[in-house]
Amino acid sequence: MIEQICETQMMTSNGSFDENMMILRDKLSALFPDENSVKSLKLQISRGPFVLNKFTGLAQKAHLKSLFGIAFDDFNCSWPLFNPSILIALLDEQDINDAASTCESLTRWGMLNSAAAIAIRSRTAKSSYNEMIDLSWHFFKNSFSLFSVLVSRGTDILALETLLAMALFTHGSTDLRTTSLLISTAARISLTLGFHRETFYTDMDPVRAERHRRAFWIAYILDQDMSIKTGLPSVYSNDDLGLDYASSGSLGVPGKIAISGSRVEAIVFRIRTELAMIQSNIQSRLYSEKSAKMTVTQLLGAAMELDHQLEEWKKTIPSEMQPGHTVWSAVAPLKEPIISLHFAYYHAIDVIHSFVARLKPGDDITLLPQCVSSALTQTSTAYETIRLLQHLPPQLPGALW
C-alpha cells in the first residue's frame, strides 16, 4: 500500500516537473530571435582583433622625439614614470609597425599618446594654452579608447605604465570617476602581475627591476591618495605587500640636483611612498567600517598614534624641504614636487584631526580638550596650506593637487 502511494506521488511529481519544463522551454524559445534575425546579427559580427579609434594622429616622429627629450624633467620629479629613451624606442617601433594591430602594438600606441598628452600639457606656453590643452585631450582619448585592451590583454609593464599615464593626466581634473577607474584598474593589474612581491624581481636586472618598482609604487601612491580623498576602499592591503621601496639613489630617469648633491626627485618619491603607507593606515583605522565598532577612547588613541607617525615621518625629510621650514630659494628649480608633497602631508593631518574634532566624548570630559585641540590644528593646517599657494606658478596643471 505504501509502495503504491509513493509510486503515485512520484508519477504526479514527474508529470508536474515535465509540464513545468515544457512551459519554461516555451518561454525561453520566445526570447530568442527568429532565424532571419539571427542571420542578420551574424552578418554584423566582427571577428577581427581589437582595433583602435583615432581621434587625432601622432605628430611627426622628429617633433615627438624632441618633445619627449625635454618634457618630463619636471614631471618625473613627482612621478618618475617616463624614460625618454624608452619612449623614443617605442616611437621607432611605431614608425616601423604602424599598420600592426596586435595587443603589443596597441599598448605601444596607448603609451605614446598618453605621453604626448602629458608632454604637451607640461610644456604648453601660456599664449596657446587653451588650444594645446584641447589637443592634449584628443591624444588622451586615443589612449583611453584602448582601455578594454589594456584591462583584458595587458600582461606587462607597458600596459601598467599606460594606465598610470592616463590616470596622471586626469589626476586633479574634475573627472573624478574616470580617474578613480584608471587608478583602481592600474592597482589591480600591478597585483595581478605580481609586482607587489619581492620574489617577482629575483632574476631581473637592476634597471628593469627599478622600472617595475617605480610603476608599482606610483600606482600605490595614487590609490592611497584617491582612497583618503574620497573614502573609497583601497585596492591594496599592506599586509600583502612584500616589496622594498624604489631606490632613492637610482631612479633611472633624468633628474635635477638641488639639495646637498642629492637627487631631489629620488628623495621626494621615496618619502611620498612612505607617506602613502601612513595614508593607508589612516583610512583603515579611522574611516573603515570596523572603526564604527570602536569606543571613543580607542578611536582617539588610534588618531594620536597616526598623528605621531606623521610627525616621525616628517623628521625623515631633509630640513630644507620640511613642511613649515622649507628653504624655497634652495629648492627653487623643484618647487612643484615639494609643494605637492606638502599638500599631501597637510591633508593627512587634516583628515586625522577633522575625525577627532567630530568625536562626541559623551560623559568623559577628559577627552574634550583633545577634540578642541584638533579643531585648532585644522585651522592651523588650513592656514599652512593656503600659504603654499603663494609659491605656485600662475599657470598650474591640476595634477599638482
- 334 lies in which domain range? 262-401
Domain contains 342: yes
Domain contains 357: yes
Distance of CA 32 to the CA centre of its chain: 42
Domain contains 296: yes
Q: Is the dihedral of CA 77, 80, 81, 83 positive or negative?
A: positive
Residue 342 has a CB neighbour count (10 Å cut-off) of 21
- Is 341 in a helix, a strand, or coil? helix
Tally the domains of the chain.
1
Domain contains 361: yes
| Residue 62 to residue 59: CA distance in whole angstroms | 8
Burial of 53 (0-12, 13-18, 19+ CB in 10 A): exposed
pLDDT in tens, 199-214: 999 999 988 999 999 9
Q: Copy the grid coordinates of residue 13.
A: 511529481
pLDDT in tens, 256-301: 444 444 566 678 888 999 999 999 999 999 999 988 889 989 999 9
pTM of the model: 0.85
Domain contains 111: no
Domain contains 167: no
Domain contains 58: no
Which parts of 316-357 fold into alpha helices (H)?
Answer: 335-357
Domain contains 226: no
Tens-level pLDDT at each residue, the chain (401 residues): 444 444 444 444 555 667 777 777 766 566 666 667 667 767 777 776 666 688 998 888 899 999 998 888 878 888 999 999 999 999 999 988 765 566 678 899 999 999 999 999 888 877 787 888 899 999 999 999 999 999 998 899 999 999 999 999 999 788 899 999 999 999 999 999 999 999 999 999 988 999 999 999 999 999 999 999 999 999 999 999 988 877 655 544 544 444 444 566 678 888 999 999 999 999 999 999 988 889 989 999 999 999 999 999 999 998 888 898 887 777 766 788 888 999 999 999 999 999 999 888 776 777 788 888 999 999 999 999 999 888 887 666 555 55
